[in-house]
Chains A and B, each alone.
Chain A
Amino acid sequence: MPELVDYLRTMLLIRRFEERVDKLVAQGFIKGTSHLYAGQEAVATGTCSVLSREDYITSTHRGHGHFIAKGGDVKRIMAELFGKIDGYCQGKGGTQHMADFSIGHLGSNGITGGGIPLATGAALSIKMRHTHQVVVCFFGDGAVNQGVFHESLNMAALWQLPIVYLCENNLYAMSTPVWEAVPLRDLALRAAAYNMPHATVDGNDVVAVREVVGEAVDRARAGHGPFFVEAKTYRFFGHSRSDQRLYRSREEEAQWQAKDPILRLQGTLLETGLLSPEGLSALEDEAMREVEGAVEFAHSSPLPSPEAGMEGLYVPEGRGVLA
């Protein structure tokens, strides 16, 4: 399975990227806040590995990993986090509001659950335009308690839309443990209420994620309707920059560190001989280099001119899709 090495490459890139962002936020080069994806890399990587460039994803506030796995350019993601003009949104969006429609990324999202109806609408559009694309809608365990989650799943099931709802259950919504927010052990059971097929998968096992999501995507593409995947995982950092992590124990964190999706994949690759120790350190170096390149790029990219903030509110006449 040579593609496993590619998965490791992507996962390492995400991890190094997030660790670097953490420092840059602390140093003040990145302003505002950030929600880091470290620990959950196998979910985005396994999922996006079964998607083509034309397939859509919607992402969340914790979206850097989704963006990188979907083929986003780390230079432009980093520049956006810096608020610079070479960022994906020229500094208008920042970490929680980025998109690249050309690679099927319909946007990260600052509103918990805000992307779920949007993803469902993209799936409706695919069905109406007969394009054979598929949508993967990423969201967290917190989002399943928003009204739009239920309203959207119902429509997707009624209309048999080509969408996979991918719930990353990392056990907490900010400080609130999932067991104090949902009276179910498996969030996948939420889908049963909408007569939607569902599965729960180990979100720290990239191969398992790929298998389950791969099947769901194939079904959706073949016209058999929506699917719900719950990936159980854990975020290694706090919720955002100011989080003291008072709501979870250091023991629990250590247990999950031991299930680090990257260490697991590395272990498999080294044991099976698909990767040599030298090969591994070469991959490590490559990820570091790419991230450092992105940081340099972001540093040297100019800030937008203040007046640029006034541009782009509406599609100018003569430039819209109907022109």
Chain B
Amino acid sequence: MRELTYWQGVQEALTEEMARDEMVFLLGEDIGVYGGAFGVTRGMLERFGSERVRNTPVSEAAIVGVALGAAVTGMRPVVEIMFMDFITLAMDQLVNHAAKMHYIFGDQAQVPLVVRTPAGGWRSYGPSHSQSWEAWFLHTPGLKVVAPATPYDAKGLLKTAIRDDNPVLFVEHKLLYATKGPVPQEEYTVPLGQAHIKRAGRDVTLVTYSYLTLMALEVAQELEKENIGVEVIDLRSLSPLDINQVVASVKKTGRVVIAEEGHKTGGVGAEVGMQIQERAYEYLDAPIQRVAAKDVPIPFSYQLEKHILPSKEDIYRAVTQVMAQI
């Protein structure tokens, strides 16, 4: 099968959906000539023109709000927020408006809105350009949250997100953009709300998503040498959450580690861990372990940054700890 990079997977989804449905259009800062801060929309202005690849002023609140207004009146906007950190400026439009409109107004209001945004650290971008805030949005009923780890999933999930009639926050990762993977030539989509078992294992369930999936797979490989079978589950969608697949795995292994890049307190792991204990408490042979960023801002200096962000060593240690419990 041909290989594409993650950014190409994202771009192909955008291109195909724009070709398929003329209501689909893009808006965001520097997505035109510049091709977006991470180059995801490069070349798209030439192909689709400035009406549909709409370069905006630096106005995140209005970008998302304007997209919402377009969405409820028949368009299918796909917004790019340059860094996930800047989503804070559009929080009101997403949380107080987009997420609740269908619930309150009923079928007259459909919100086919996608907000794409890159999260993540390890780039020495400092405290306002390195954060992973997806956990906030699990706490927002009405929003769907997707965070793919592979080019295949990036393309397939984005196509589904664009066809979804509900607001979807689509979290990309800066360190994934250049990674490569198989992407079929033929049309396909990936449904939202389905986790994916990346690697089967009998001893411990390692739940993760986005960039940490790559780390988790490397750790699982290493632990294989020590005869520990790690089942790596990539959640892919955080909301809706495929807890059934996670629970099925836990019933098999009895041990769980949840790894995420966001801060530990109030993170994705807190929610997933609690749902596991609600549904599979009697199957657990050890307390659930979490691996996450420490609860301080992400500092600039790489020496500090890598200490604050989760590491492969952290995941390795957590797995060996849950395995040590009898």
Contacts and interface: CB of A to CB of B under 8 A. Distances in A.
Given A303-B303, A309-B304, A309-B307, A110 B57 contact: no
A303 B126 contact: no
Contacts of A113: 58
Given A31-B124, A110-B126, A304 B61 contact: no
Interface string A100-144: 000000000111111000000000000000000000000000110
Given A174-B34, A175-B34, A309 B58 contact: no
Interface in B270-326: 294-297, 299-308
A180 B30 CA distance: 11
Nearest to B62: A147
B244 interface: no
A160 interface: no
A306 interface: yes
11 contacts: A32-B300, A91-B304, A109-B128, A111-B85, A142-B57, A176-B55, A303-B303, A304-B303, A306-B303, A306-B307, A310-B296
Given A33-B125, A246-B34, A92 B62 contact: no
B196 to A, nearest CB: 32
Contact of B126 (A93, A175, A309): A93
Contacts of B308: 309-310
Contacts of B262: none
Contacts of B58: 112-113, 142-143, 145-146, 173, 176, 181
Contacts, number: 126
Nearest to A95: B126
A145 B127 CA distance: 23
Interface in B54-107: 55, 57-62, 85-86, 89
Contacts of A109: 128
Interface of B: 29-30, 32-34, 37, 55, 57-62, 85-86, 89, 123-129, 294-297, 299-308
B57 A303 contact: no
Interface of A: 31-33, 83-84, 89-97, 109-114, 142-143, 145-147, 173-176, 180-182, 243, 246-247, 303-310, 313
B45 to A, nearest CB: 11
A182 B59 CA distance: 12
Given A93-B126, A111-B86, A175-B33, A309 B299 contact: yes
A113 B86 CA distance: 11
A46 to B, nearest CB: 26
B84 to A, nearest CB: 13
B29 A176 contact: yes
B47 to A, nearest CB: 16
Given A96-B129, A97-B126, A146 B59 contact: yes
Contacts of A173: 29, 57-58
Contact of A97 (B33, B34, B296, B300): B300
B30 A83 contact: no
B124 to A, nearest CB: 3
Contact of B57 (A32, A89, A182, A307): A182
B126 A174 contact: no
A176 B304 contact: no
A97 B59 contact: no
Contacts of B57: 142, 145, 173, 176, 181-182
Contacts of B126: 32, 93-97, 110
Contacts of A33: 125
B92 to A, nearest CB: 10
A94 B300 contact: yes
Nearest to B302: A31
B29 A92 contact: no
Contact of A91 (B34, B59, B129, B300): B300
B44 to A, nearest CB: 14
Nearest to A140: B58
Given A145-B57, A147-B62, A247-B34, 15 more contacts: A84-B301, A91-B300, A93-B299, A94-B300, A97-B128, A109-B128, A111-B128, A114-B128, A142-B57, A146-B89, A173-B58, A181-B58, A304-B303, A309-B299, A310-B294
B33 A246 contact: yes
A97 B61 CA distance: 23
A243 to B, nearest CB: 8
Contacts of B297: 92, 313
Contacts of A182: 57
Contacts of A313: 295-297
A97 B123 contact: no
A176 B60 CA distance: 15
B57 to A, nearest CB: 4
Contacts of A142: 57-58
A303 B321 CA distance: 31
A247 B32 CA distance: 10
